[in-house]
Structures are given as structure tokens and as C-alpha cells.
Amino acid sequence: METLQKVSEVTKTVKNKSRGGLEDKKDRNSQLNWWLVFGAVLLLTAWSRFHKVSEPDHVCWDETHFGKMGSWYINRTFFFDVHPPLGKMLIALSGYLTGYDGRFAFEKPGDKYESVNYVGMRVFCTFLGACIVPFAFIIVWEMTHSLTAATFSASFILCDVGILTLTRYILLDPILLFFVMGSVLGMIKFHSCKERAFSFSWWAWLVFTGVMITSAISVKFVGLFVVILVGIHTAADLWDVLGDLSKPISYTFKHFLARAVCLIFLPAVLYIIIFYIHLLVLSKSGNGDGFYSSAFQSQLEGNSLYNASMPREVAYGAVITLKNHRTGGGYLHSHWHLYPEGVGARQQQVTTYTHKDDNNLFLVKKYNAELVDDEDVEIVKNGDLIRLEHISTRRNIHSHREMAPISKKHYQVTGYGENGTGDANDVWKVVIVGGRDEEPVTTVSSKLKFIHYLQHCVLTSSGKQLPKWAYEQQEVSCNSNMRDKNALWNVEDNIFPKLPNVSFTVYAPSFLERFFESHAVMFQGNAGLKPKEGEVTSRPWQWPVNYRGQFFSGNSYRIYLLGNPVIWWGNVVFLATFLIIFACNSVREQRGYHDLPSVKESKHRMSSACGWLFLGWALHYVPFWAMGRVLYFHHYFPALLFSSMLTGIILNYMLESIPQFLPERLASSTYHWFIGVIFSVTIYSFYLFSPLTYGMSGPSASDPNSTMYGLRWMESWEF
């Protein structure tokens, strides 16, 4: 008996070793397959992205903006943009490191890059755009541990000609998409380390996530959407930690503190550092100065206010400029052109203009007397009645009971009179906000209101853009509401030789003041982005269905931003499919249906992964429905990445469900047949539509003789 027992034990040991060896071999094969597939994804991504990256050799679409801004960083020239600075700083750095000297003008799309080293900036943006494909592969793999799902998701992003087009040029979009996907990758990898809390890899991925979300919002403010996604995921993680009753409450507090440091404090510090570098580098005056306050401008080399000295107080006879005190406000401005027929009185236009020129200059005069050339100097004081005479046209700032051009509840403001003569409607009362009686009006520091003497309204800049007849400058009107927040002005330039000058260094703002003003200007600039006459824009409902694209390059060499319709329309279908499957599974579970453990685990993994990706898609898409600013097709692409990954997971889940409905042998062949068809259709659709990315010539697709004629599946496509 003892002998038999020993033989039995030896036999079991041999079987266990054999089984263990088979499992090890299976694991090694699985790892090998993973690396083979991942390597193929990398190679195909590199080929598709860098193929013909230097073509066309002219400025394409918004390269005219962001290439120009890169040049300004290299030249240290200050400018205004509605986006935070990191993306432009990286473009400039890539250009500088690859030999670009910052001298090319980037004036308009179509300008030839003659003897310009532009390829380095394109390659940099293309490299970051290429990284989103392997990022998608790893994200889906970590969420599902399904090689098929990861490959599906990566291939849908790889083969989308829209993503390919958007990530091959000197633009902010490839940089933004890189950091958005990097944020999601960090979030998922950190979650995968939850069983190794406070290990090196746990900390590394947490810090990586903090850096990525900071970078995303530092490129464009829409990076806030991925910050919210990471925040919600972090809150869910902390809720799970709190529910672990085997750990004390102090353990949850440690987790919270770690996340607060890496996902709140660290990003805040990095964000401020980015702006510090931005303001340090851009030290020279540029054409964007006028959007900023007088004190801000005094820090820019070459600005008329830099190291300037001018009279501290404003006197009658001084030539001044008035800047709207609202952050981003323009200068009071007039020009020879009259308001058109039917827009109030047909008198001289008065607007605000954000750039400095001679049409911003006004002469300060007493309300009831012409200036006398003598040695007497009289200072303008709080409560004085004055006239403002436009230097170039010698007409006075004037208001009357005619409606303003856009703000219909306001009165029109015009230039009136000849050679400084006018009538009582030219008289304004100067009020220093918070000032004492008889307090002198001072340069820069006095916040002023100009109240019309007869109409009892206050001179204001509504912030609304006028039509082309006013050169799209901003409306100036007279508002009966004396509390109008846009009715504050300050004297910026003060030219009067009879008074001693003081240095502008007394007005120098601190870094934090410049930091907060920069944000106020950007927010206001974003809110003011409205469609211009004749401009082709789009609405959010058009984006998921790929309704209309955008030309990146026209004429003889055409590049057209349009999504691969097979992938885009498939994404819409599978977004709806996920909701249906999720609802059906929820009903089954609520009704008490029991699945096999393997099936139950598959459903849970799919629901969790797709749930987070669906939330990511919604966060990056739904808010655009509430935005009043001008919108374009390319705004949808961050959301597209989430829907493409979701499609890969749902497809894999449906294919893995085949054995539940078919015999094992037939299920296996059906499974592999579907995989072959999906990949074949995806790759072939990329081949068909790739000319949109790599360049088209000849007749447009609307011409029956065009080689692209058969691919114009929708009338709204214009390639």
C-alpha cells in the first residue's frame, strides 16, 4: 500500500509539473504574440504617419497661425492667442532645435516653404500624433486584457484618415491628442497598480498622470475635459479604497493625500511654471499688446510704454489714448468712414480697436472753450465737463438718441462736427471711480467713466463685433445703465510737453497679476470667437456622422480633413450598441439571471471599460452643444479617440459571445472569419480614402472625370 501511495504521489507531481510547464509555455506564447502584434502596430503607425510628411511644401490650413507663433517664440515677440502657451512653446522648441530661425512669415495658406527648415516642426507634431495609436492599444489592453480588442481599437485609430491628416502638420491638435491619450494611459496604468499601492510604479504612474493632465489643459482649455474624466475616475478609486473594511480610515486618507499632491498640487505648480516661462520668453512688444492692460504692456521691450515717461496727470490740451479697462478691451478709436445707411445717424464711426495706431489719439478740451496757447496748465479733475476731439478727423466724440448698431438698448456714439466744433451732445462728464471731489485724473491708474451730459448714459465698449463695414472692430455705445462693467476706461498715452514726465516703472505689475490677466484675456477672447461673414463652420450634430470636412490645402494639391466613413459610422452604431447591451445586461441581472463565472467576468470587464470610454466620449463631445463660440469639425477628434476604443471593445465582446449561440467548431471558424472581414474592410477603406491625406490632384470629386468621384458618398463632401 505504501508503495502504491508513493507511486501515486510521484505521478501527481509529474502531472503538476507538466501542467505548469504547459501554462508557462502558453504564457510565453501569449507574451510573444502580444509583442508581435504591438510591434506590427508600431511599424504600421510609423509608416502611415511619416510617409510624405514633408508634402505639401507649402503652408497648410492653421500652420499659418501656429507656425507663426512658433516664430514669435524664437524671436521672443509677444502675441495674443486664445489658447494656453504649452503647444506653441513646444512647436517653437522643436523648430529651434532642428535649425529653423524664426524668419518665415507664415502669412497665409499656400505660401511656399522656400529654403525654410519647416520639416523639423512637422516631424515633431507628427511623432506626437503617431504616439496615440500605441497609447490606444495599451489602454484597451490594460482595460480588457484582450489582444483582439486592443488590436481592433488601435487599427481603427491607425486607419482613420481624419486623425492621420490632423496629426501631420504644425498644429496644436496632435499635441493636444497626445496629452489627452497620455492622461488616459496614465489613469489606466495607475489603476492597474492598485494591488501594489505606494510602490514605485504606483507613484510613477500617478505622477505621469498629473503631468499629462497639466500638459493637456496647457495646450488648449478643452484639455479640461480629460482633467474632469481623471477626476471622476480618481473619486471612484477612492470610493473603492474607502469600502475596503480590512484597512483603517487613515489608509484612505493616505490615498487621498497622494492623489491631492500628484493630481492637484503638482499640476497647479507645473501650470504656473509654464506661464512663467511663457511670459519670460516673450519679452518684446508685438501686435497682440493692445489686448492687455497698460501696466502689462509697460513690461514689453519696444512697446511705447516700456521704460516710458509721461506726465502723471492729464491736462487740458493733452493728446491721449483711452483704453477700455475691461481685460482684453481695445482703444477708443475712430476713422473717416461713416455709419452705413439705416444704422443710426450717418455720422463718423466710433469703435474700439485692439491695435495701436494714430486713429486712437484724442485731444482733451474744455466743454465750453477752445484751447488757448499760453503758459497756463489746467489739470482735468473728477467731475469736469470735457470734449474729446479726434486728432485725425477733428470731430468730437458724440452721442444722441439714435440706437446703437448692435446693442439696440444703447445709444449710438459717433464722431460729429467739423474742425472740433460741434454741439451740446459732444459734452461728457469725467468721473473717477472711487475718486474724491476735484481729484486729478492720472495716467493709467485712474479708472474713468465718461457720462454723457444730456442723455445721462455712460460711454461703453459692448465687446460685440461690428460687421465688415466697420472692419469687424468692436462696438462703442452709450448705455443708460451706469453700472455697466464695460464702461471703465483709463488713459494710456498722455502727450503734454508742459508737464514733467514720470517713469512707467511705478505701474509695473507682478508675475501673478500678469498671470491672472493673461487668463482673463484668453477667456474673453474665446468667448468672442464668433463666425465671420462667409466663413464655413460646423455644428456638433454634424461631427459624429462625418457630415462635412475641412480643406487643409486647396488648388492643384488638395488635402481634405475627413474621417474614414466606415470607421466613423461604425463608431456611431457601436456607441448605440453599447447602450443597448448595457441596458439588456442590467435587466438580466436585475431579474436574477445567472451567467457562468467566465461570462459574468467578461460582461463586467466590458461594461467597466466601455463605461469609462463612453464617459470620456461624452465629456469631450456634449459640452460643445452648449458653447456659443465658433466651432469647427476638428473639435470632435478627442471624442473620436474614445469612441474608436469603445468600438474595438464592443466588437470583441460580440465576437466572443458567438460560442453561446453556435456549436464550438462552427463558432471558431465564424469568429476568425469575422475578424478577417473587419480588418480587411478597415484596411481597404483606408486605402480608398488615403488620397485625402497624402494629396489629390486633378478635378474635384464632384466632376465625373475625377478619380475620387466614386468616393463622394455624401453631397456635403467637397474634396
Which H helix or E strand runs over 534?
Answer: none
Least reliable range by pLDDT among 55-64, 450-459, 532-541: 532-541
CA distances from 488 to 29, 460, 493, 507 (A): 72, 7, 16, 18
699 secondary structure, DSSP code: S
Q: What is the pLDDT of residue 705?
A: 85
Q: What is the pLDDT of residue 373?
A: 62
Which residue ranges does the chain devote to CATH 2.80.10.50?
294-522
Q: What is the pLDDT of residue 4?
A: 40
Give me the CATH topology for the region 294-522: Trefoil (Acidic Fibroblast Growth Factor, subunit A) (2.80.10)
The pLDDT of 501-526, averaged and rounded, is 87
The pLDDT of 239-250, averaged and rounded, is 91
pLDDT(6) > 60: no
In degrees rounded to 5, what are phi and psi of residue 508? -60, 125
Using alpha carbons, select from 8, 52, 44 the residue that is nearest to residue 133: 44
The pLDDT-based confidence of 288 (bands split at 50, 70, 90) is confident
pLDDT(21) > 70: no
The rounded distance, in Å, linking the Cα atoms of 596 and 190 is 30
CA distances from 337 to 157, 390, 466, 533 (A): 52, 13, 14, 20
* pTM of the complete model: 0.86
